[in-house]
Amino acid sequence: MKNLFINPETGIYRAGWRILSFIIFFMAINLSLTFVVREILGSLKGGGLLWFILLAISSTTAAFLSRKYVDKESLSSLGLNFNRLALLDVIIGVLTSALIMAAMYFLLLSLDLIKFEGFSWWSDNYSEGVNLSSASLIIMLGMLLQFSIVAWWEEIAFRGIILQNISKGLGLRWGIILSTILFGLIHAANPDATILSTLLIMIITIQLVYAYLKTGQLWMPIGLHLGWNFFQASIFGFASSGHSSPSMITQSPIGPDWLSGGEFGAENSVFIVPFTLVSLWAINYWVGKTRIPNRNSFLKFMVTKEGFDVGNKQQTNAPKHNSLEIRSIAR
């Protein structure tokens, strides 16, 4: 019976129970925080900044507790070591996504698949000479904070807890496949989601997984995720996975949904696929310039398949999670 819960070869809880412990901690903490906030404020707006802050607190605390008391590891071992490259990884991730979303916007605009309707600071009787207002900047900063929080907690949950634990239990290949499918299915419940948008999000998610495997850290996936959502929704006016938000540019889709993205946003357009491939190239180029030189090969990773082998008994000798060396993360 004990073997049902604990892997006899590693002496720790099996991957499914580790993921379940995170989910239980997450739900208990989030429900408690939500109850307290609603008691104090009288209400809590779903999808608002405070709502996302509570999700981030819940995810981070649940990850800490499950890592410390179930996995017997530190939170930083998920890929959150703050070394000299961490901030650069975030910045490069944001800039990569910014360039991709800019290219996506101008491509769809040039093909008459979306219509430019103005800038956020233009009034109904606008003049093109009207300047960007301080109110617009404050709103954009608020959206940047919100998307930073979203990127943080979703990367901890999906590329941290879920991907890594499935990989430890079933192997790296299944970790990538199942965590990617799950991330797509989570977004299938969003407004205006389609079968195509769900499939495309699964494809897009590969860049986040790839960035983690190439760097051995979560910082670049966090930067990519943040830049993707912020520039898609708050700068170029697409819906972010079906959710609309204040944006610097106002535009609307006028072409077929599978080309323009429709009301779901750029992630529902097939044109996002080649840009995702460009993102993979950019990630590989950055890693080749900043890490061990032989890591520049497209399919060589900081995180290795051997490190996730089921039943690997090298857990006590595994090196720490460091983006400057190849890391075996079997436990």
Measured CA to CA, the distance from residue 112 to residue 279 in angstroms comes to 24
DSSP 212-279: HHHHSSSHHHHHHHHHHHIIIIIIS---BTTB----SEEEEE-S-HHHH-GGG-GGGSTTHHHHHHHH
Of 47-51, 131-135, 225-229, 318-322, highest mean pLDDT: 225-229
For the chain, first and last CA: distance in Å?
21
Per the CB < 8 A criterion, the answer to whether 116 and 247 are in contact is no
- Between 170 and 293, whose confidence is greater? 170
The answer to whether residue 58 scores a pLDDT higher than 90 is yes
**Domain residue limits, the chain:** 83-317
Measured CA to CA, the distance from residue 295 to residue 302 in angstroms comes to 7
Taking residues 78-87, what's their average pLDDT?
92
Tens of pLDDT, residue by residue over 227-248, are 999 999 999 999 999 998 889 9
- Between 84 and 184, whose confidence is greater? 184
Q: What is the pLDDT of residue 292?
A: 64
Per the CB < 8 A criterion, the answer to whether 5 and 307 are in contact is no
Residue 118 pairs in a beta bridge with 250
The answer to whether residue 307 scores a pLDDT higher than 80 is no
Determine the 3-state secondary structure of 112 from DSSP. Answer: coil
Taking residues 321-330, what's their average pLDDT?
35
Of 64-78, 128-142, 283-297, 299-313, highest mean pLDDT: 64-78
Q: Which amino acid is at 302?
A: M
What mean pLDDT is reported for the chain? 86
Q: Decide: residue 193, CB within 10 A, 0-12 exposed, 13-18 middle, 19+ buried.
A: buried
> Binning pLDDT at 50, 70 and 90, where does residue 114 land?
very high
Nearest 5 degrees, angle CA 21-CA 309-CA 89?
75
What's the whole-model pTM score? 0.87
Measured CA to CA, the distance from residue 171 to residue 178 in angstroms comes to 11
